């Protein structure tokens, strides 16, 4: 915390006392004092205090609902691709069917980079509204695909929208949350789990009854309409989400983003509007923020005005948002480690999915468990178990001595352990049991990972930080279908590699330098 000894001498009188009071009452921050630019840091602490004073109210709860659409989409659409994979392959008979998954992963990578980096440059609002809109439009168009090339192209295009959901949505939700309620970022993952349940239920009815079977020599469009009905349903749901976001809800630009751009007055207006929506008032004034400009005088002597310098730097489309994430040894260490964690998980998860057809075919096939009914029944059971996993994650992250890091490390390691255990299954029921345990732990892992990551980045560079980690995840995800096309999947090797990657990621979490439990993000 800043105190009177750390303020410059010219910062005197009533202004000096007011700012000292504001800074001393601000919630404890995730990043240590002195990590960031002193002007930005002081203003961020004052805005944290203002948001905390307003508290959790109507606006944040409405935001919780519409932000949940982004979480749901992030899980829903990769599942859509995996569910339509077999009927699309049966109908179009492509030489290399994994190109569909590859196209999706390339789209996810482009989306993560474009929307993640972009929301630090052109703001959160447009990205927030457009990501689901892009997904809905191309998802609906994809239902009319005449060949494999078309469906692969549309999968890449809808994935560009999907790839931006979490980098943008986690940033904007965190920036409106009081520090006391940041655990809700973990609870949001219940939408991620419910999306899996929803997709499986719809697929059961449509794909289970209106698609060609693997044994059919000829698969015509008329006999294989299930995946097209499925795409129309998913695209329609995405369009409803877009309508609710764009028409029925007014999203404000993040106050800390505006402050980072030098728009202190706009930031104050947003805080007052949020307070009004919550039926409260805020005492924050533009003077509270402008007083902090003097803190930068001894540090940035070559610049005429700190706020102007910040604004000028943030408007550049260059590395100005990347460098602050590596500004100190501790920040560089943290950013590098969390990126590596995302990369390991990005390869481990799709590698296991690539192995699933082999393990399903060799576990319990003699019992006649390969029927469509059994397949979707098991998928639904596995999906349902993800819901309590997210809720448990929300509880554990606020538990003393466990917190974000303990929960994330524990759940990630156990995810890998259960993957190893799945190779011991000799029947489909045994495999179902291990997959239930795997999905339960992986939902805890993802719930915490999606919440913890944006918390350890400063607001003005949070979109970029999210983009870096998500890009690492997607780049390694792109490698998985390539491996699936050229490697021998008729062995258990991929699942051993996948389990090892999860365990390694969990161990890396233990040495991350920041614990964000009970602290406000800057």
Instruction: For 167-184, write each residue's pLDDT tens digit.
Output: 888 888 888 988 888 888
pLDDT at 12 over 80: no
Residue 18 has pLDDT above 60, yes or no: no
Same domain, 244 and 271: no
Say which residue, 285 or 504, is predicted with more confidence.
Answer: 504
- Regarding whether 267 and 246 lie in a shared domain, the answer is no
Dihedrals φ, ψ of 221, to 5°? -60, -45
Q: What DSSP designation does 186 have? A: H
Mean pLDDT of 191-198: 90
Rounded distance between C-alpha atoms, residue 411 and residue 408, angstroms: 5
- Same domain as 505, residue 369: yes
Q: Are residues 297 and 382 in the same domain?
A: no
Secondary structure letter of residue 370 according to DSSP:
T
Mean pLDDT, all residues of the chain:
82
Q: Is the pTM of this model over 0.75?
A: yes
C-alpha triplet 47, 52, 313: angle, nearest 5°: 20
Q: Is residue 101 situated within a structural domain?
A: yes
Answer whether 346's CB lies under 8 Å from 477's CB: yes
Closest CA to 98 of 81, 116, 75: 81
Higher per-residue confidence, 214 vs 267: 267
Residues 6+ apart with CB under 8 A from 181: 56, 60
pLDDT computed for residue 305 by the predictor: 42
CB neighbour burial string for 142-164, b if at least 16 within 10 angstroms, e if fewer: bbebeebeebbbbbbbbbbbbbb
Same domain, 236 and 284: no
Low-confidence winner among 8-12, 52-56, 232-236, 362-366 (lowest mean pLDDT): 8-12
- Rounded average pLDDT over 246-256: 89
Whether 420 and 306 share a structural domain: no
SS3 per-residue string spanning 190-257: HHHHHHHHHHHHHHHHHCCCCCCCCCCCCCCCCCCCHHHHHHHHHHHHHHHHHHHHHCCCCCCCCHHH
Residues 437 and 471 placed together within one structural domain of the fold? yes
Q: Which pLDDT score is estimated for 108? A: 92
In a domain, 22, yes or no: no
Q: How many residues does the chain have?
A: 522
Q: What is the mean pLDDT of residues 228-250?
A: 94
Task: Report yes or no on 441 lying in a domain.
Answer: yes
Assigned domain for 13 exists: no
Q: What is the pLDDT of residue 522?
A: 65
35 pLDDT more than 80: no
Together in a domain, 139 and 268: no
Indicate if 157 and 268 belong to the same structural domain: no
Indicate which CATH number applies to the domain containing 184.
1.20.1250.20
Q: Is residue 5 part of a domain?
A: no
Region 60-84: what's the mean pLDDT? 92
Of 291, 314, 337, the one marking the end of a domain is: 314
Judge if 347 and 275 occupy the same domain: no
Q: Quick one: DSSP state of residue 296? A: G
Same domain (yes/no): 148, 206: yes
The whole domain housing 501 covers 58-251+327-510
> 390: which residues sit within 8 A by CB, 6+ positions away?
186, 187, 189, 190, 192, 193, 443, 444, 447
Are residue 266 and residue 245 in the same domain, yes or no? no
* pLDDT of 290 strictly over 80: yes
Mean pLDDT, residues 344-371 taken together: 65
- Whether 2 is in a domain gets the answer no
* In-domain check, residue 516: no
Number of folded domains that form the chain: 2
Q: Does residue 343 lie within any of the structural domains?
A: yes
């Amino acid at each position: 915390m800043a105190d009177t000894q750390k303020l410059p001498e010219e910062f005197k009188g009533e202004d000096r006392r007011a700012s000292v009071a504001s800074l001393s009452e601000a919630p404890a921050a995730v990043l240590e004092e002195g990590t960031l630019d002193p002007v930005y840091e002081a203003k961020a602490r004052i805005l944290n205090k203002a948001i905390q004073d307003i508290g959790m109210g109507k606006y944040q709860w409405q935001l919780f609902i519409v932000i949940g659409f982004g979480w749901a989409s992030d899980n829903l659409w990769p599942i859509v691709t995996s569910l339509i994979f077999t009927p699309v392959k049966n109908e179009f008979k492509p030489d290399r069917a994994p190109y569909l998954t590859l196209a999706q992963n390339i789209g996810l990578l482009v989306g993560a980079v474009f929307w993640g980096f972009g929301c630090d440059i052109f703001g959160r609002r447009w990205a927030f509204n457009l990501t689901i809109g892009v997904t809905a439009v191309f998802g609906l168009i994809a239902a009319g695909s005449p060949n494999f090339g078309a469906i692969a192209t549309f999968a890449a295009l809808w994935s560009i929208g999907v790839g931006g959901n979490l980098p943008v949505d986690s940033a904007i939700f965190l920036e409106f949350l009081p520090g006391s309620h940041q655990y809700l970022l973990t609870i949001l993952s219940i939408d991620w789990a419910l999306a899996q349940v929803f997709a499986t239920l719809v697929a059961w009815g449509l794909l289970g009854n209106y698609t060609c079977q693997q044994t059919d020599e000829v698969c015509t469009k008329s006999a294989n309409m299930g995946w097209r009905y499925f795409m129309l349903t998913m695209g329609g749901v995405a369009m409803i989400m877009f309508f609710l976001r764009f028409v029925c809800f007014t999203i404000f630009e993040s106050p800390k983003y505006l402050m980072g751009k030098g728009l202190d007055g706009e930031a104050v207006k947003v805080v007052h509007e949020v307070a009004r929506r919550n039926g409260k008032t805020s005492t924050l004034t533009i003077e509270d923020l402008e007083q902090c400009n003097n803190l930068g005088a001894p540090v940035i002597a070559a610049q005429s005005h700190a706020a102007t310098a910040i604004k000028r730097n943030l408007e550049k489309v260059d590395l100005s948002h990347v460098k602050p994430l590596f500004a100190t040894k501790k920040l560089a260490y943290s950013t590098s480690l969390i990126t590596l964690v995302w990369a390991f998980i990005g390869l481990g998860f799709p590698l296991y999915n690539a192995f699933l057809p082999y393990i399903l075919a060799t576990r319990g096939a003699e019992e006649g468990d390969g029927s469509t009914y059994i397949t979707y029944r098991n998928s639904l059971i596995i999906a349902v178990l993800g819901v309590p996993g997210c809720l448990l994650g929300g509880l554990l992250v606020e538990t003393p001595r466990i917190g974000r890091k303990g929960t994330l490390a524990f759940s990630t390691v156990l995810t890998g352990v259960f993957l190893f255990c799945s190779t011991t299954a000799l029947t489909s029921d045994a495999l179902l049991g291990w997959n239930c345990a795997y999905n339960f732990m992986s939902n805890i892992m993802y719930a915490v990972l999606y919440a913890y990551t944006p918390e350890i980045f400063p607001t003005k560079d949070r979109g970029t930080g999210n983009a870096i980690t998500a890009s690492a995840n997607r780049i390694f995800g792109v490698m998985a279908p390539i491996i699936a096309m050229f490697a021998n999947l008729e062995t258990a090797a991929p699942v051993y590699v996948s389990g090892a990657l999860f365990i390694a990621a969990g161990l890396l979490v233990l040495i991350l330098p920041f614990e964000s439990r009970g602290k406000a993000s800057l």
